Amino acid sequence: MDIKKLENWYLKHHRRLPFRESKDPYQIWVSEIMLQQTQVETVLPFFERFIKKYPDVYHLAHANPEVLQKDVEGLGYYRRFSNMHKAALEIEDHYQGQFPETYEKIIGLPGIGKYTVGAIMSIAYNQPVSALDGNVIRVLSRFLGNSQDMRLEKNKKVLDKINQDLIEHAAPSIYTQAMMELGALICRPKKPECERCPLNDQCYAYHHQMTEALPVLSPLKTKKETHYITLIIKNDHGIMLRKRDESLLHGMYEYPQFESESIQSVLSDLENEGIILELIDQSLKQITHVFTHQIWRMDVYRVRLISGKNPHWIVADEQTLNQLPMAIAHRKI
Ligand code: SF4
């Protein structure tokens, strides 16, 4: 691979993204965590607000966890931010608030995997450590003509090793960003712009008309679909909410909901637990929310709490409801 050509292309054509202009490991970390599973355009306004409010490890470590969840409401995958908070606390405790500088120390922090360490080590510290994300997998699979299934860890490891060899002969910070940017702008999943690509001279897929066929990614399992009866439960003080402890949407608030097809069976199950509800109206609406691996279909009902209580519910007035972190699936309601 002509690495020099790739790096020159990057220096000339890269987007001026705020987190690409910085060498601050804290900012690189924040951006890489936000960019996991989320598009750049979605991340940008969140990133800018986040860095303004939490400009360094100290501010993040001292954040109120619920306010922090609220600040990232809409980005999804909320466990990544509670891990980030835990990591900031560890950096405070073990490294006097200074972001650690070695691979071993960084990978020991909560929520940081091999890819994120690679990104921080190479982009912030200019160290030759491979950062293999989806963009880099696509570029390398096509460039090398590798037709192994890239959903499999063992095949990704082969590419990671190749990427490691390449970065050792490159300017690490520029190389990592160049590969990511090339994958995002030119070597896109559909209709890559090979004519404009700095790697086209030696690219296997380009010269063998295989760009659409690579990388090979075996189909994902079909999404699990769950039907919920979702209740807006009112009493004289407000509306009942439940804080999720499941790994999906961990720590976010939601209206109590029950895996069931029928409102009547939910009401009678709750009655058996001593909670009496009165139905205010028939199904308000059906709301569908699609996650990466599952789909929620929610039939929403308004009910009044006549008697009884559930220890996992809190009562929120309208103002509190707007301040608490809530998953978009339920904010829609
Ligand atoms: S030539 Fe085309 S397929 Fe090959 S790396 Fe460049 S954009 Fe991707």
Q: Contact 243/313 with Cβ under 8 angstroms?
A: no
Every domain range in the chain assigned CATH 1.10.340.30: 3-207
- 199 DSSP 8-state letter: T
Residue 193 CA: which ligand 1 atom is closest? 7
Q: Which CATH architecture has domain 224-331?
A: Alpha-Beta Complex (3.90)
Catalytic residue numbers?
A: 32
pLDDT of residue 75: 85
Q: How far is the CA of 158 from the centre of ligand 1 (A)?
A: 19
Nearest CA to ligand 1 atom 8: 187
* Residue of 135, 194, 208 to mutate, ligand 1, most atoms within 8 A of C-beta: 194
Tokens found for residue 76 = 């999804």
* Residue of 2, 5, 139, 166 to mutate, ligand 1, most atoms within 8 A of C-beta: 139
Phi, psi of 218 (to 5 degrees): -65, 150
Torsion of CA 308, 260, 247, 293, to 10 degrees: -160
Q: What is the mean pLDDT of residues 80-107?
A: 94
Distances (CA, A) of 69 to 250, 253, 312: 10, 10, 19
Q: How far is the CA of 177 from the centre of ligand 1 (A)?
A: 16
pLDDT over 70, % of the chain: 100
Q: pLDDT grade, residue 288 (50/70/90)?
A: very high
**Pocket (CB within 6 angstroms of ligand 1):** 139, 142-143, 186-187, 192, 194, 197, 199-200, 203, 205-206, 211
With a cut of 90, say whether residue 73 has pLDDT above it: no
Distances (CA, A) of 14 to 10, 77, 179: 5, 28, 11
Q: Per residue in 219-252, pLDDT tens? A: 887 788 999 999 999 999 999 999 998 888 888 9
Tokens found for residue 119 = 């990104």
Every domain range in the chain assigned CATH 3.90.79.10: 224-331
SS3 303: strand
Cα 291 from Cα 76, distance rounded (Å): 9
Superfamily classification of domain 3-207? Hypothetical protein; domain 2 (1.10.340.30)
With a cut of 80, say whether residue 284 has pLDDT above it: no
Task: For tokens 């293999």, name the residue.
Answer: 132
